[in-house]
């Protein structure tokens, strides 16, 4: 039996993950949105585009890594 608790289920169609199915996943998604929002406030893209881009890219890479670790295995799905 697999005791791996999934936070991010796979999408029914396509590749990747859907909305979180556990409170931990919602917390990670909320944290990601807060980081991006803070990046917009503290590093406006019009004034510091390089720093803004680096912060958003790092946050996105972190989110994808967490989805790989705590989500279902990503693969192309055609539905059921």
Cβ density class 31-43: b for 16+ within 10 Å, e for less:
ebeebeeebeeeb
* Cβ contact 63:6 at 8 Å: no
Backbone phi, then psi, for 14, in 5-degree steps?
A: 95, -165
Residue with the bigger pLDDT between 79 and 28: it is 28
pLDDT for 1-15, tens place per residue? 355 789 999 888 888
Q: Is 71 helix (H, G, I), strand (E, B) or coil?
A: strand
Reported pTM: 0.84
- Average pLDDT of the chain is 91
Cβ burial, residue 50 (10 Å; 0-12/13-18/19+): exposed
pLDDT for 60-69, tens place per residue? 999 999 999 9
State the pLDDT at residue 3: 53
CA–CA separation, 4 vs 53, rounded Å?
Answer: 33
Query: Is residue 80 predicted with pLDDT exceeding 80?
Result: no
State the pLDDT at residue 74: 84
């Amino acid at each position: 039996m697999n005791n791996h608790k999934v936070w991010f289920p796979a999408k029914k169609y396509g590749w990747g993950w859907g909305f979180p199915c556990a409170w931990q996943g919602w917390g990670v998604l909320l944290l990601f949105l807060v980081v991006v929002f803070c990046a917009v406030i503290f590093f406006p893209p019009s004034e510091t585009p390089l720093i803004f881009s680096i912060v958003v890219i790092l946050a996105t890479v972190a989110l994808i890594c967490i989805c790989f670790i705590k989500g279902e295995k990503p693969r192309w799905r055609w539905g059921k």
